[in-house]
Chain A
Amino acid sequence: MATEAITSISSGNAKLQMRHMSIAFERDGKTIPVLENIDLEIRNGEFICLVGPSGCGKSTLLNVMAGFLSPTEGVVEIDGEAVRGPDPRRILVFQDHGVFPWLTVEGNIEFGLSKFSGRERKERVAHYVQMVRLQGFEHTYPPDLSGGMKQRLQVARALAMNPDVLYLDEPFGALDAITRVMMRNELMRIWQAERRTVIFVTHDVDEAVQLADRVVVLSSRPAKVQDVHSVNIPHPRNISSPRYLEHRDELLQKIGLAYSV
């Protein structure tokens, strides 16, 4: 079923392509396989969520895509070019503590912009401060920001680099439930305005169904791609509509959970 979903995409407009990718970690002299034989194609401008049981290697997969980890076998290509390391064209947003506490909001956003002229920098900072709604906090240091504001700042800093792929590693995982829902709306609004390719790791099935064009379901460790699930509901998605619930239940079943206690 999974392979069907993958091959149905014409490989002509693939943004990111992963073929036979495996990665194993060495620990105490033993080799522990984490991801096994992953095949994946992601289209330009797509919003992809990676879900799976906790500890299955979702973050590892994201870190391989972002170039922080090298696969043991197989290749990852973006625009037909092999990923060899982290690259400013693709920015990763971390779950927690990702913003620099020694820089103000403004300083964080212009962190990677030193090669631009002063005017260009100013314009980008102003643009993204507005986009993530941090106006009035330009000169505030992160210890004085709330958790949600810090994550918005991290997204703004990433977007200011004008990346073609945005990786998000459980970016709202450390936030409370209400802030999390608000952040999803913000992210959806930003994605609709900017149309980057977004690859989003989450353990929250609701989050995945609300955000994703396609949800990649990983099995438990050593993880394989168990399924690729398309969510063909237009945005904004009504979380109590029968269609939404159908998708959610289907996904939960694929992960091996039933929504009853």
Chain B
Amino acid sequence: MKHPGKTWPRRSAAALAMLTSLTLAGCGLSSGGAEEGAPVAAEDATLRVGMASDAQSLDPPNFSLTADFIRLDLMYERLVKLDPDGKPIPGLATSWEQNSDTEWTFTIRDGVKFVDGTDLNAEVVKINLERAIKAPQGKGYLGVIKSVELVGDKQVKLILSKPFSSLLNNLSVPVAGIVSAKAIKENEKNLSANPVGSGPFTFKSWNPDERMVLERNEGYWGTKPKLKTVEIVPIPEASTRLAALQSGDVDVIEYPPPSELSLIKESKEINELIEPKAQPVFLGFELKQVPDVKVRRAIAMAIDKEAIVKDVLEGVGSPATTGLIPPTMVTPADDPINIDYDLEGAKKLMAEAGAGDVTLDLVLPGSYYLKDKEVAEVIKSQLKEIGVTANLKIQESGTWFTSLLEHKTQMYWLGWGVAAGDPADMLTRVFRSGAVNNMSGYSGADKEIDKLALLPIKTPERESLMNDIQRKFIEEDVVVVPMYYSTNFYATRAEVEGFHTTKSSLWDLSGVTVKK
């Protein structure tokens, strides 16, 4: 090192280059381009889907989040399925019978094999349900099950701790997916990364944050899907997702940037897919902090939700004018459950309340639902008209959700997905006193909400009770202002046919083909 300056720039550049090529090899980069095979028949095609986030856990009752439900649903079946109208239909159970308020018997389907070759039977179902009721997510949906008894090897009897009419709905949630008992016994710790189910697709590989590959389950007992392979790639940035769709790197994406909707509509290569979803988005009040119902009502009257949906959401979603529960989930009441837009009335009511100028915090996430920030800006300007200053507090999603749980805000912005398809579930979790997610601290409809669990689902009596409850907390007590019903929002390439979503935001891939 006598002449350090002589050649060091060149030498260190060479060393760096060498280091890079080593690292490249170390992390699996190859010089090959994207895999382009020979043309494949539409039936054996691969569907590549770009999602906003990656999966977290693929073990149904353990820490699976709603973002995981789509993946779980493709690989795991449940005892019960929901038809497009939300009616329970046979899944892995062929039939069921309610013996009493707290006792149900399910008959298990014959001839179902898990992808590891083991058979489904009553014992497997018992092992699964007993595991689920102790697991963090499983307990939330199935905790009402006190015990599971075998009745022969084809039937199980579920004993509930209290009457619970939406049991069938909750058994249809991906969290209640039935896992191979052999896999539970031998490999429970790794189930979150190595799913073993009986669904139409089987797990092939998963590189976190990069790609998950599923393949058609050739031994599937039901109608086999036409697709051979499904690749799910997480692409967090919406603009990149759309670009990847335009370039043909993926065939389907969820949540394209809503601002690009007109571009998608004009394009011949890309189609938009907007389908109903079981998720209302609403503005809520923390009742202790905004105690005057007149002020709350004036605020509800001052918000023009029709204009917001039309101009800000550009039609992705529909204004919530028949209550908090989307009309696709409950038969709407004869009189719409709504506080109509009436600016003059709102001003009068504010004067009557004698509240003067009011300043209220509104806590919201930046972009968790659709264009939250933009919607909130419009609400803010509409409230200004009646002398209410909405102080927008845009928080990162984890902070926002915790602020709500801790009742730290006067007004909040929240959407609630009803994964189990029974709106009573939302009413119990968000409007029943004592519920952790009762962000408003409401307790005015406890008796009625409790009664829902006793009435059989999908009966006129139960639906009209749900409408009465909604009318109470929306029109009478003004606990929340329902804003809009969200939609599943996807964009697909024109080569993709038959891609649909369900109200519970799952995919229906049964008829999907990809022409290449």
- Whether chain B is bound by chain A comes out as no
